[in-house]
């Protein structure tokens, strides 16, 4: 199933209170990611990048503003609808992988499909090619404790892609990979967005990601700006 | 992507997937699941074992009794073992409305065979008994056996004394010895009711001959014609004339229920506390897994599993764990019921012909299973708080934001809640002592609730102490405690529960034993030598003693001989222990058992006659105070007594009545003693006196015991009666110590990555090991102190409840040495067990810290 829907963040605001101090994690961010477009989002640690991804995925409710995916307002979905949106529409790669300890790489990659009533056999069949695309087929039967950090990250990527999502949200997908493997994954993500016409939002520190993204933005102190700001440009150069 | 075609799912999940999720969990977290399951299983085992043991006593006695009375619905019963004229049976048979009447003679006796002796109840049966359907299903053709003049023995009894069908044995009854043949040994088969009892059956004439009660019976069983029960009961009452009792045929069950109730209640109290501790141990074990299960929830939610699916997956896992743990607990409980809890307490067996057959009802299994599953599901709930509607990201990020141990408001509220529970328990215990059982369980909750506050306080103090103490051990230990606060609090909670349960239960048990020992020591301390009918009894079996006292007085070492009389008397629903003491006895009432009244005045009143000391339960039930009058239904008819004093139940659960032997002789119309109290001349040692008494008796038909021997027998019986409590206390202590050790061990093992990162920082394994042991010791001390303080309070409440509700003598006394022993046992066992995994964990390669 190909997607032709765009992701639109409208005036999003999300503040935290920590020890009586207000942290403006996301402060009036608006951003549109068009179908087939991969947008890279850079920012220093604590700038609100992950919060923005969680807002986009419907995992976090904004204080103000809204998130739209095509004609659907994600921020107005019920908890049940929001869960179904993530399960069926979103491919989400997390910085800390969130793999299930006792399940094999293949079963971890198939996990989302199981939540939709698939049999494990069918889910494995559909997932296996994605595991192959991230170069992990020979490790399909290994549990996470027997995989390296990079391999775990690739399992998480295969899991995000296996459900053929219509929106791709990735948080440091190359953070644990070497440069060569990182390029391969970035290529895969870019190609996937283009081939399938789906929007992708890529939160990253990886300097080489710029080359794969259609657009680059910087998030600093909750505010979004186009391109890399000077400070970041120097730090990742 | 094409979605799957229709398939059977629950909330969108295929059922097999639920099992698959649990399989994944088990693969990675086997130890944690075993730990949690173990706690549940211990609780279920205690509950199930006690329920089965308690139910089996009355249940099997019911089967035995129904086997003996058949279709009889009423009975005319004598108020003493002397019985009444057997001619009365024919009179009863002739009453209007009577279908069948059959006489029975029951007499306590001792069977002596080549392999030993056994106290039994000899039951002589009129042949009419067969018309009541009694024993008709015996596989060994009882009619023929009964008709053959001999004894029918249960297989257990026959085996104990080493006889078989056709063998001869000796029957000791009423102070006489008679040979008798064994005509049948019954074993197996549905009848089996009798198989397990401590009875011996005979035809009535043989039983009369063996007991010297010719032409007498102790009861007549009656089956009225249909619809004639009231008429027959009225006719029987008229015939009884106030000297006999008219009761339902299975009245003995009511009496047994009353007699076993206090012990059942005590056991249930202990089991309830034990089960609560077991349940909380499981909750704490589950608490150890909270961080990991919250991560699991986060994983599911981020992958798009909705909250209902998440609840289903976690609920199903809890259900499987609960069912598995509960089934294991039921199996363990069955083993406990068969081994530790299965014996009929001797003190019950001396008054009722009960069996030890174990009966497991389906309801008992279902209750145990339900309790275990419910406990597991409740224990699994905390991580589901992450699914609250307005907290969608807690599961994802709260863990990173803070640890439960650092949530000061939560710690404060829990501490306040713990203190509130203690206050509520105090009010409850004062206002409604019978509900103290709930208080004992609530204190276990309070023990856990107070731990976070104590933990935060102690860690704060230690942090300050670190600044003035050299070396790294304490610094590492305190830092580790702080950074794994939730886990540390759970571990301290496990230790607190372990100590709480052991101190509360162990202390109450010790109070009971001390109380009973005191009661029996003072009850028996009136004579140097006791001559009885032998066997194991509460000195209630009368025997012919013509010329015996005179013969004893002629023995060189004997200074004096006094008659002691005693019996059981059924009053309402109570089989009361009647103690009739000679006015010449040095003590009429055991001083330590006096609850109300003046000892000197009460003793004088008893000696003068017309007065009695009654146990508190009896006094309460009949609204009696010191000075009140009450009527006893004696064999000679109703007799009025004044209440001289109110005592404990002297260790007999149904209650006791002390009066003078002169009153007893008049009311019971007998001078037969149930014991002779012998005082020795000064300088005569008890063993020597015993030999002289035996020589004077000229045979072994009577039992002769020194004071010390008889005290030991009573103490043994008391401990035997409390063996279930002892078994629960011991099991709980072992389970608790192992739970602490395994929880600590598992927690240390899970922290290898953290330890590895410390090794990267340059700490060697010896430093880490010592730090781990110190950390464990700190946790054990936090839990131990909390457990001891509340355990002592629980002990006091339990002892008070035992005294007030069961009537047992159980005055509270602080068992300092026992408490210290309990604490040290838990601490040493736990430290010894964790020392090895601790050392292995401390030796973790530094590279592990880089991998995680």
A57-84: pLDDT as tens digits: 888 889 999 999 999 999 998 888 888 8
| Cβ neighbours for B420, distance < 8 A, ≥ 6 positions apart | none
Phi/psi region, residue B773 (left: phi>0; alpha: psi -120 to 50; beta: rest), is: alpha
Query: If you measure CA to CA, which chain B residue comes closest to A152?
Result: B852
Between residues B737 and B680, the one the model is more confident about:
B680
If contacts are CB pairs under 8 Å, which of residues 59-88 in chain A contact chain B? 59-61, 79-80, 82-88
Residue A10: what pLDDT? 95
B462-484: pLDDT as tens digits: 888 877 776 667 877 888 788 77
Residue B720: what pLDDT? 72
For B515-586, list the strands marked E by DSSP. 529-532, 558-571, 574-581
Single out the residue of B535, B774, B781, B537 nearest to residue B652, CA to CA. Answer: B537
Query: By the 8 A CB rule, do B565 and B665 touch?
Result: yes
Single out the residue of B536, B202, B504 nearest to residue B343, CA to CA. Answer: B536
B189-212: pLDDT as tens digits: 444 444 456 788 888 888 888 888
Residue B680: what pLDDT? 94
ipTM for the whole complex: 0.78
Best to test chain B binding among A79, A108, A164, A192 (most B CBs inside 10 Å)? A79
Residue B190: what pLDDT? 41
Single out the residue of A48, A58, A37, A27 nearest to residue A216, CA to CA. Answer: A37
Residue B351: what pLDDT? 66
For residue B134, give the 3-state DSSP assignment.
coil
Minimum distance, in Å, between the CA of residue A44 and any CA atom of chain B:
19
| Cβ neighbours for A209, distance < 8 A, ≥ 6 positions apart | A40, A174, A186, A202
Q: How would you classify the pairing of strands B675-680 and B558-571? A: antiparallel
For residue B233, give the 3-state DSSP assignment.
helix
Class of residue B822 by CB neighbours under 10 A (exposed 0-12, middle 13-18, buried 19+): buried
Confidence of residue B625 (pLDDT cuts 50, 70, 90): very high
The DSSP code sequence of B486-513 is HHHHHHHHHHHHHHHHHHHHHHHHHHHH
For chain A, list the strands marked E by DSSP. 7-18, 21-33, 38-42, 64-69, 72-73, 90-93, 167-171, 200-203, 215-220, 223-226
Residue B191: what pLDDT? 45
Count Cβ neighbours within 10 Å for each residue of A189-216 and write b for 16 or more, e otherwise.
bbebbeebbbbbbbbbbbeebbebbbeb
For residue B201, give the 3-state DSSP assignment.
strand
Minimum distance, in Å, between the CA of residue A184 and any CA atom of chain B:
23
**pLDDT at residue A157 greater than cutoff 60:** yes
Alpha helix stretches (DSSP H) within B722-801: 723-750, 752-760, 765-801
How far apart CA B542 and CA B564 sit, in angstroms, is 10
Q: Collect all residues of chain B within an 8 Å Cβ-Cβ radius of residue A111.
A: 303
What's the whole-number mean pLDDT along residues B305-325? 90
Torsion of CA A176, A182, A186, A191, to 10 degrees: -130
Query: By the 8 A CB rule, do B834 and B511 touch?
Result: no
Please give the radius of gyration of chain A, using alpha carbons only, rounded to the nearest integer: 17
Count Cβ neighbours within 10 Å for each residue of B231-259 and write b for 16 or more, e otherwise.
ebbebbeebbeebbbbbebbbbbbbbebb
How far apart CA A231 and CA B14 sit, in angstroms, is 51
How far apart CA B426 and CA B526 sit, in angstroms, is 41
B715-731: pLDDT as tens digits: 887 777 677 677 777 77
CA–CA distances in Å: residue B404 to residues A34, A53, B414, B417, B452: 43, 27, 11, 16, 9
CB contact under 8 A, B7 and A90: no
Minimum distance, in Å, between the CA of residue A228 and any CA atom of chain B:
28
Confidence of residue B816 (pLDDT cuts 50, 70, 90): confident
Across-strand partners of B637?
B634
How far apart CA B742 and CA A101 sit, in angstroms, is 22
Best to test chain B binding among A100, A104, A170 (most B CBs inside 10 Å)? A100
How far apart CA B457 and CA B683 sit, in angstroms, is 64
High-pLDDT (> 90) share of chain B, %: 27
Between residues B735 and B212, the one the model is more confident about:
B212
Residue B399: what pLDDT? 42
Give just the sign of the alpha carbon dihedral B421, B422, B425, B430. negative
Range of weakest confidence among B42-51, B169-178, B319-328, B495-504: B42-51
* Chain B residues contacting A via beta carbons under 8 Å: 1, 3-4, 7, 9, 12-14, 16-17, 20, 23-29, 295-296, 298-309, 389, 392-393, 396
Minimum distance, in Å, between the CA of residue A226 and any CA atom of chain B:
28
Class of residue B190 by CB neighbours under 10 A (exposed 0-12, middle 13-18, buried 19+): exposed
Best to test chain A binding among B296, B303, B305 (most A CBs inside 10 Å)? B303
CA–CA distances in Å: residue B753 to residues B285, B396, B749: 21, 22, 9
The DSSP code sequence of B363-428 is HHHHHHHHHHHHHHHHHT-GGGGGG-TT-TTIIIIIHHH--GGG-HHHHHHHHHHHHHHHHHHHHH
How far apart CA B200 and CA B151 sit, in angstroms, is 6
Q: How would you classify the pairing of strands B116-125 and B199-203? A: parallel
How far apart CA B71 and CA B133 sit, in angstroms, is 6
What's the whole-number mean pLDDT along residues B29-48? 80
Query: By the 8 A CB rule, do A216 and A42 touch?
Result: yes
What's the whole-number mean pLDDT along residues A194-201? 92
**pLDDT at residue A1 greater than cutoff 90:** no
| Cβ neighbours for B677, distance < 8 A, ≥ 6 positions apart | B526, B527, B529, B530, B561, B562, B563, B564, B582, B585
Across-strand partners of A9?
A31, A67
CB contact under 8 A, A54 and B13: no
What's the whole-number mean pLDDT along residues B276-301? 75
B790-802: pLDDT as tens digits: 999 998 888 888 7
> How does DSSP classify residue B71?
T
Query: By the 8 A CB rule, do B584 and B549 touch?
Result: no
Across-strand partners of B579?
B566, B658
Class of residue B218 by CB neighbours under 10 A (exposed 0-12, middle 13-18, buried 19+): buried
Please give the radius of gyration of chain B, using alpha carbons only, rounded to the nearest integer: 33
Between residues B565 and B833, the one the model is more confident about:
B565
Torsion of CA B453, B459, B460, B462, to 10 degrees: 150
Single out the residue of A226, A149, A162 nearest to residue A188, CA to CA. Answer: A162
Residue A234: what pLDDT? 74
Residue B756: what pLDDT? 78
Q: Collect all residues of chain B within an 8 Å Cβ-Cβ radius of residue A165.
A: none
What's the whole-number mean pLDDT along residues B207-236? 90
| Cβ neighbours for B801, distance < 8 A, ≥ 6 positions apart | B269, B429, B433, B434, B436, B437, B440
Decide if A122 touches B, using CB distance below 8 A: yes
CB contact under 8 A, A115 and B296: no
High-pLDDT (> 70) share of chain B, %: 87
B79-111: pLDDT as tens digits: 988 889 988 888 999 999 999 999 999 888 889
Query: By the 8 A CB rule, do B357 and B67 touch?
Result: no
Query: If you measure CA to CA, which chain A residue comes closest to B15?
Result: A117
Alpha helix stretches (DSSP H) within B432-570: 436-466, 473-483, 485-524, 548-554
Domain at A7-236, CATH from 3.40.190.80, 3.40.50.300, 3.30.1490.20, 1.20.120.80? 3.40.50.300
Single out the residue of B530, B542, B572, B536 nearest to residue B664, CA to CA. Answer: B542
Single out the residue of B241, B244, B198, B194 nearest to residue B217, CA to CA. Answer: B244
Range of weakest confidence among A156-170, B498-512, B820-834: B820-834
Give just the sign of the alpha carbon dihedral B711, B716, B720, B725. positive
**pLDDT at residue B67 greater than cutoff 80:** no
CB contact under 8 A, A100 and B29: no
B402-423: pLDDT as tens digits: 455 556 788 889 999 999 999 9
> How does DSSP classify residue A208?
G
What average pLDDT does chain B have? 82
Residue B852: what pLDDT? 44
Best to test chain A binding among B21, B30, B304 (most A CBs inside 10 Å)? B304
Of B1, B7, B393, which has the smallest distance from its Cβ to A1's Cβ?
B1
At CA A194, angle to CA A192 and CA A197, rounded to 5?
95
Query: By the 8 A CB rule, do B650 and B656 touch?
Result: yes
**pLDDT at residue B157 greater than cutoff 90:** no
Query: By the 8 A CB rule, do B97 and B224 touch?
Result: yes
Residue B137: what pLDDT? 46
CB contact under 8 A, A116 and B4: yes
> How does DSSP classify residue B309?
H
What's the whole-number mean pLDDT along residues B123-145? 67
A96-139: pLDDT as tens digits: 777 887 889 999 898 888 888 888 888 899 999 999 988 889 99
Confidence of residue B400 (pLDDT cuts 50, 70, 90): very low
């Amino acid at each position: 199933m190909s997607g032709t829907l765009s992701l639109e963040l409208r005036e999003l605001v999300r503040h935290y209170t920590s020890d009586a101090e207000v942290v403006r994690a996301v402060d009036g961010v608006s951003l549109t990611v068009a179908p087939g477009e991969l947008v890279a989002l850079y920012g220093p640690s604590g700038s609100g990048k992950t919060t923005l991804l969680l807002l986009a995925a419907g995992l976090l409710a904004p204080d103000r503003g809204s998130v739209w995916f095509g004609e659907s307002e994600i921020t107005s979905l019920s908890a049940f609808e929001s869960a179904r949106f993530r399960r069926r529409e979103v491919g989400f790669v997390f910085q800390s992988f969130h793999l299930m300890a006792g399940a094999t790489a293949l079963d971890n990659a198939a996990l989302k499909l199981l939540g939709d009533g698939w049999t494990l056999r069918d889910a494995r069949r559909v997932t296996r090619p994605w595991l192959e695309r991230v170069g992990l087929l020979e490790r399909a039967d290994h549990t996470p404790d027997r995989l390296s950090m990079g391999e775990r990250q690739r399992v998480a990527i295969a899991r995000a892609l296996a459900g053929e999502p219509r929106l791709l949200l990735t948080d440091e997908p190359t953070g644990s990979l070497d440069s060569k493997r990182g390029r391969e994954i970035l290529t895969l993500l870019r190609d996937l967005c283009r081939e399938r016409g789906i929007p992708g939002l890529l939160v990253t520190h990886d300097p080489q990601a710029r080359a794969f993204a259609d657009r680059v933005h910087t998030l600093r102190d909750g505010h979004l700006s186009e391109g890399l700001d000077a400070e970041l440009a120097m730090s990742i150069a | 992507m094409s979605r799957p075609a229709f398939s059977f799912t629950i909330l969108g999940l295929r059922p097999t997937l639920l099992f698959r999720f649990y399989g994944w969990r088990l693969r990675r977290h086997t130890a944690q699941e075993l730990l949690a399951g173990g706690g549940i299983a211990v609780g279920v085992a205690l509950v199930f074992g006690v329920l089965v043991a308690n139910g089996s006593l009355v249940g099997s006695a019911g089967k035995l009794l129904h086997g003996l009375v058949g279709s009889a619905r009423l009975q005319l019963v004598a108020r003493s073992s002397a019985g009444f004229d057997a001619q009365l049976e024919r009179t009863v048979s002739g009453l209007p409305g009577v279908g069948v009447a059959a006489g029975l003679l029951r007499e306590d006796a001792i069977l002596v065979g080549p392999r030993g002796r056994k106290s039994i109840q000899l039951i002589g049966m009129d042949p009419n008994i067969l018309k009541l359907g009694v024993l008709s299903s015996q596989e060994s053709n009882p009619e023929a056996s009964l008709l053959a003049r001999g004894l029918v023995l249960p297989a257990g009894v026959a085996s104990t004394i080493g006889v078989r069908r056709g063998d001869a044995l000796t029957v000791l009854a009423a102070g006489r010895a008679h040979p008798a043949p064994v005509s049948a040994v019954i074993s197996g088969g549905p009848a089996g009711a009798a198989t397990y009892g401590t009875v011996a059956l005979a035809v009535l004439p043989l039983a009369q001959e063996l007991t010297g009660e010719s032409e007498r019976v102790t009861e007549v069983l009656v089956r009225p014609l249909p619809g004639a029960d009231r008429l027959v009961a009225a006719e029987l009452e008229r015939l009884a004339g106030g000297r006999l009792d008219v009761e339902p045929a299975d009245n003995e069950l009511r009496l047994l229920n009353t007699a076993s109730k206090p012990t059942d209640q005590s056991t249930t109290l202990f089991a309830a506390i034990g089960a609560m501790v077991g349940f909380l141990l499981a909750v704490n074990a589950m608490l150890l897994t909270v961080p990991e299960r919250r991560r699991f929830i986060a994983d599911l939610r981020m992958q798009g599993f909705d909250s209902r699916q998440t609840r289903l997956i976690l609920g199903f896992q809890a259900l499987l764990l609960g069912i598995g743990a509960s089934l294991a607990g039921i199996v363990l409980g069955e083993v406990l019921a068969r081994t530790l809890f299965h014996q009929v307490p001797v003190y019950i067996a001396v008054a009722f012909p009960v069996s030890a057959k174990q009966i497991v009802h389906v309801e008992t299994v279902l209750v145990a299973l339900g309790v275990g599953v419910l406990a597991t599901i409740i224990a699994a709930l905390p991580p589901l708080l992450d699914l609250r509607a307005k907290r969608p990201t807690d599961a994802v990020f709260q863990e990173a934001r803070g640890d439960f141990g650092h949530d000061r408001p939560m710690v404060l509220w829990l501490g306040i809640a713990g203190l509130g529970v203690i206050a509520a328990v105090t009010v409850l215990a004062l206002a409604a002592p019978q509900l103290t059982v709930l208080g004992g369980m609530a204190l276990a909750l309070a023990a856990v609730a107070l731990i976070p506050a104590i933990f935060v306080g102690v860690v704060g103090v230690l942090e300050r102490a670190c600044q003035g103490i050299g070396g790294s051990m304490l610094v590492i230990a305190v830092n580790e405690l702080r950074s794994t606060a939730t886990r540390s609090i759970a571990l301290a909670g496990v230790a607190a529960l372990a100590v709480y349960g052991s101190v509360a239960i162990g202390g109450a048990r010790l109070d009971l034993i001390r109380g009973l020992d005191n009661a029996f020591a003072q009850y028996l301390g009136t004579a140097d030598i006791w001559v009885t009918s032998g066997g194991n009894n509460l000195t209630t079996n009368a025997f012919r003693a013509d010329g015996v006292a005179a013969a004893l007085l002629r023995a060189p070492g004997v200074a004096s001989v006094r008659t002691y009389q005693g019996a059981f008397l059924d009053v309402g629903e109570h089989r009361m222990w009647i103690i009739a003491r000679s006015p010449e006895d040095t003590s009429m009432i055991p001083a330590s058992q006096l609850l109300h009244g003046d000892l000197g005045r009460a003793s004088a009143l008893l000696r003068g006659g017309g007065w009695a000391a009654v146990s508190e339960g009896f006094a309460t039930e009949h609204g009696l105070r010191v000075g009140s009058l009450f009527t006893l239904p004696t064999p000679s008819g109703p007799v009025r007594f004044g209440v001289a004093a109110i005592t404990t139940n002297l260790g007999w659960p149904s209650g006791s009545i002390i009066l003078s032997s002169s009153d007893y002789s008049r009311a019971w119309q007998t001078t037969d003693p149930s014991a002779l109290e012998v005082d020795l001349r000064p300088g005569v040692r008890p063993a020597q006196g015993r030999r002289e008494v035996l020589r004077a008796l000229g045979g072994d038909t009577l039992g002769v015991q020194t004071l010390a021997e008889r005290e030991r027998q009573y103490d043994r019986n008391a401990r035997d009666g409390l063996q279930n409590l002892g078994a629960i206390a011991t099991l709980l202590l072992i389970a608790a110590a192992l739970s602490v050790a395994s929880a600590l061990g598992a927690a240390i093992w899970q922290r290898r990555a953290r330890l590895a990162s410390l090794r990267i920082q340059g700490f060697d394994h010896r430093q880490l090991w010592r730090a781990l042991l110190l950390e464990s010791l700190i946790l054990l001390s936090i839990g131990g102190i909390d457990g001891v303080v509340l355990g002592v309070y629980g002990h006091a409440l339990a002892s008070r409840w035992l005294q007030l509700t069961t009537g047992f003598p159980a005055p509270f006394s602080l068992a300092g040495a026992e408490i210290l022993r309990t604490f040290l046992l838990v601490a040493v066992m736990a430290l010894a067990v964790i020392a090895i995994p601790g050392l292995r964990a401390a030796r973790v390669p530094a590279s592990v810290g880089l991998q995680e």
